[in-house]
Amino acid sequence: MSRTSVSNETESVLCLWVEPWGTDHWMRPGEQFTVVTESEPEESPFNVVVHRQGITVWVNSASSSEVVDQDGVIVPCGHQRPTDPGW
């Protein structure tokens, strides 16, 4: 199992995208989410890209992934999505 964690250390809501599926998971300030796959760890199971609209985690070697919060609860696509993200 491979996993990588992302935390929002800003004062704003921040979007975590998980690619190649294009799922969006919105983090409030201070929240931490973990992207989990069933694939075995390898040299580079994930790529992380920080950009103006948030953070994208590219899953390089798995056919699926889940995002979980700090309590291990699955965070679905669209979680806490604002009606107007301000872009």
Q: What is the pLDDT of residue 26?
A: 97
Locate the domains of the chain by residue range. Answer: 2-68
Cα end-to-end distance, the chain, whole Å = 35
Mean per-residue pLDDT, 18-40: 94
Higher local confidence (pLDDT), 77 or 86: 77
CA distances from 51 to 30, 37, 39, 72 (A): 19, 23, 26, 26
**Minimal CA–CA distance to 4: which of 19, 13, 77, 22?**
19
Higher local confidence (pLDDT), 57 or 85: 57
Mean per-residue pLDDT, 8-33: 96
Q: What is the pLDDT of residue 48?
A: 95
What are the backbone dihedrals phi and psi of residue 79, each rounded to the nearest 5 degrees, phi first? Answer: -55, 120
What mean pLDDT is reported for the chain? Answer: 92
